[in-house]
Structure 1
Amino acid sequence: MTPEKMPTTDNLVDVFTLPVHPFSAMFPMLDDERLDEMAERIKQNGLIYPVALGKVALVEGEPPVLCVIDGRNRIEACKRAGVTPDYIVLADDEDLDAYIADMNFERRSLSKGQRAMLIAVGYPEQRTYPGQKSESRKAIVSKSISSARVSQARAVLRYCSHYVDLVIAGSMGLDAAYEEATRLKAEAQDRDLRIEKLRAEAPDLAALVGETLTLAAAEEAVRERHRQAECTLRETVQLVDDMDALIARMSGEQALVIAKRYVTKRDHFNTPVPEAAALWIAALDRLKDALREGTQGDAS
């Protein structure tokens, strides 16, 4: 449908106070020098191309409101020139996303990296703009830049968003930003694996990560626990070895004295003392073997 030209002589709409369509707002403004030059031309020749307005739902569930679809630079130049800009109101069935893409991608000197980043910011993955048409997104991507470049830009948006404005402004190339995003993505995946391992080994420490502990500090605390457990186990094994060696050197009454010292349960004495000593020594051997196996398993 053809857009309708709306006169401004009756001040039907105050263009200067209207919100800007979020996708349109992503495109960088002209610098002050170029805006002043545009304002001077408007003073001399008037505004040749009217500002484009349209209705869009800025908040999910709320009714559409009139927004600036195209012409932010012209509005600012008119403001500096003291001129009230003419405007057109696009039809309700106008594809605003495609309109913004057509007006800006073709008219502006934007690199492919800038275009890809603008699309990524306007249409990040797993998030849609209220009222957006899926076929509109596909048309914008296929018309302006490859989907592979947009995917790279979305990776930058997700893993190093502080580079987004630099890429859009042209101060940083998309390739350089994507290289850093790839590195940070690998770090994030490694961190997820480390968190998962920490939860399995020490859920109490995992719960503190991000609150009172860093991930590295929590991992060091787990290693310290392992070191302390290993030290205790080795000391116990050595003690058992020493006791076993002592008993091996003893015979007769000396062995019975040692047995009586460590047999604390009264029912052990229901059998003859030599048999009780033999039971204790066998139990001691089993404990020693179990501790040794535990030490070897922990070391592996």
Structure 2
Amino acid sequence: MVLDREGRVLDGRGRLIVCERLGIEPSFVTYEGDDPDIFPLAVNLTRRSFTKGRAAMIAVKARSLREQEGRSHKEQTTRSLGEQLGVALAVMGRASTVLQHAPDLVEPVISGAMGLNEAYAVAQDNKAKITSAEAQLARLREEDPVLADRVVEGDLTLAGAWAERTERVEEDKRQRKVATRLLDELVPPLAQARGTRTFSRYDPAYATGTPITREIIAQAMTALAEMDQVWQERDLP
């Protein structure tokens, strides 16, 4: 039987029970390694002849549980854990990815119902989707912070926010087209009339729309002044 430095049994509990029942004096050795938590796991994995994938998944899950419970004696890196178990770093890395991005597949891998590589493919797909979603949210925050906040707060799905964003962009484009056509129709003819007898020939009797009055002329002059200001701000020719 193997004990840790504090006298707790790390390996051989079953044999210890048998010895106690038969009245046999058990023999003990003390584990001298740096991480007593991983020793029994390594022994059991070897005895049961698990595949490397299952062994890696069990080890990674066990490490995660120890960390959550605050029972880790030291920081256990994936590399050091794999070295102690005799499992390649790449295999340990796949198991860690499954634990992080496809936790519902951890138990199927441990039980042997699913291979680690199959679970890893699903985890990679999930990871890619998360990465894509994070990138989309970051882009949305740049273009429309209000919509991005609504996504974070749960008021909108990311897809719904982008649909609304697209609708707003299309509506803005439509309004720009309408405004551009309107000004194209109004301003150039007005400019061309300057210096001609057009204004002196105006006759309200022939007006087909709203008759032009001094008030409308004043409003038009204000509109042109506003237009000039906007053109300067936008640095248009």
Partner of 2:173: 230
Partner of 1:156: 98
Contact 2:56 2:87 in 1 (8 A): yes
Q: 1:241 aligns with which of 161, 181, 184?
A: 184
Q: Deviation of residue 285 (structure 1)?
A: 7.7
Partner of 2:145: 203
Partner of 1:122: 62
Q: How does 1:49-128 map to 2 (within 5 A)?
A: 69=10, 95-124=35-64
Partner of 2:158: 215
Q: 2:216 aligns with which of 258, 261, 268?
A: 261
Distance 2:80 2:224 in 1: 83
Q: 2:116 aligns with which of 174, 186, 196?
A: 174
Distance 2:107 2:117 in 1: 14
Q: 1:252 aligns with which of 199, 217, 236?
A: 199
State the number of aligned residues.
Answer: 210
Change beyond 3 A, Cα 1:137–1:70: farther
Contact 2:140 2:148 in 1 (8 A): yes
Q: Deviation of residue 201 (structure 1)?
A: 1.2
Look up the SS of the partner of 1:102 in the other structure: helix
Q: Deviation of residue 106 (structure 1)?
A: 1.4
Q: Deviation of residue 202 (structure 1)?
A: 1.2
Distance 2:140 2:216 in 1: 43
Distance 1:281 1:203 in 2: 34
Q: Deviation of residue 229 (structure 1)?
A: 1.2
- CA offsets, 1:52-83, max 9 Å, x none? x997xxxxxxxxxx9885579x59xx9xxxx8
Q: Deviation of residue 123 (structure 1)?
A: 2.8
Q: Deviation of residue 178 (structure 1)?
A: 0.8
Partner of 2:131: 189
Q: Deviation of residue 180 (structure 1)?
A: 1.2
CA RMSD of aligned residues (A): 4.2
Contact 1:105 1:144 in 2 (8 A): no
Read off the aligned partner of 1:207 and give its amino acid letter. D
Change beyond 3 A, Cα 1:281–1:204: closer
Change beyond 3 A, Cα 1:237–1:123: same
Distance 2:98 2:155 in 1: 29
Structure scoring higher RCO (CA < 8 A, sep ≥ 6) equals: 1
User: Quick check: 162-171 or 115-124, which moved more?
Assistant: 115-124
Distance 1:259 1:235 in 2: 27
Partner of 1:271: none
Partner of 1:21: none
Contact 2:99 2:106 in 1 (8 A): yes
Change beyond 3 A, Cα 1:199–1:135: closer
Distance 1:290 1:228 in 2: 23
Q: 1:133 aligns with which of 51, 67, 74?
A: 74
Contact 2:2 2:10 in 1 (8 A): no
Look up the SS of the partner of 1:110 in the other structure: coil
Structure 1: gaps spanning 5 or more residues? 5-52, 56-65, 265-275, 294-300
Change beyond 3 A, Cα 1:282–1:111: same
- CA offsets, 1:196-251, max 9 Å, x none? 01111111111121512110000111111111111122111122123236534681
Identity score, percent: 24
Contact 1:156 1:163 in 2 (8 A): yes
Contact 2:2 2:12 in 1 (8 A): no
User: Quick check: 192-201 or 115-124, which moved more?
Assistant: 115-124
Distance 1:90 1:214 in 2: 59
